[in-house]
């Protein structure tokens, strides 16, 4: 999967303001909505919150992958946010999440959604990629950290 096709600089935030899970989810949806990638902000937020209520998307190593399938998008969309001091996201390792990758997909398209989550998880499982993400100073640097080729 070519992440550069999905991600663009307007979908990256280096300084998320949220201080809890709910605020981070709202902020991430707003990034996509303000970039014109989400058709219905409230529907997208509701889908993400409902998915998160089923099971936390806080992974390990400071990564959270909030995601949902919903009618608010017509293709797979994603945003990346960094909160260097971290937020409690009920991660599996109990550590605060500092790297947030949110993705939304249409209800009728499962394949790209699963493929994107798998690729992001594989990349961010690498300590050097996480370090590059956390030290990036520009949105372009964040995208480059995920696309080292």
pLDDT tens track, the chain, 149 positions: 567 788 899 999 999 999 999 999 999 999 999 999 999 999 999 999 999 999 999 999 999 999 999 999 999 999 999 999 999 999 999 999 999 999 999 988 777 778 888 888 888 889 999 999 999 999 999 999 987 55
Q: Rounded to the nearest 10 degrees, what angle do helices 111-124 and 127-135 cross at?
A: 90
**Global confidence as pTM:** 0.93
Assigned CATH class of 3-143: alpha beta
DSSP string for residues in 67-79? EEE-TT-SS-EEE
Domain limits of the chain? 3-143
- What is d(CA 125, CA 31) in angstroms, rounded to the nearest whole number? 24
Which is it for the CA torsion 115, 119, 120, 125, positive or negative? positive
- What is d(CA 92, CA 78) in angstroms, rounded to the nearest whole number? 22
């Amino acid at each position: 999967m070519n992440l550069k096709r999905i991600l663009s600089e307007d979908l990256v935030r280096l300084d998320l303001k949220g201080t809890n899970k709910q605020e981070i989810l709202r902020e991430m949806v707003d990034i996509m909505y303000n970039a014109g990638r989400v058709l219905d902000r409230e529907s997208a937020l509701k889908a993400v919150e409902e998915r998160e209520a089923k099971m936390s998307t806080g992974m390990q190593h400071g990564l959270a992958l909030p995601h949902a399938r919903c009618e608010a998008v017509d293709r797979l969309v994603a945003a990346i946010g960094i909160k260097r001091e971290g937020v409690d996201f009920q991660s599996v390792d109990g550590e605060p999440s500092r790297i947030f990758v949110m993705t939304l997909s249409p209800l009728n398209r499962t394949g790209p959604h699963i493929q994107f989550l798998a690729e992001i998880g594989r990349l961010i499982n690498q300590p050097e990629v996480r370090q590059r993400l956390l030290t990036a100073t520009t949105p372009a640097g964040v995208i480059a950290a995920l696309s080292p080729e």
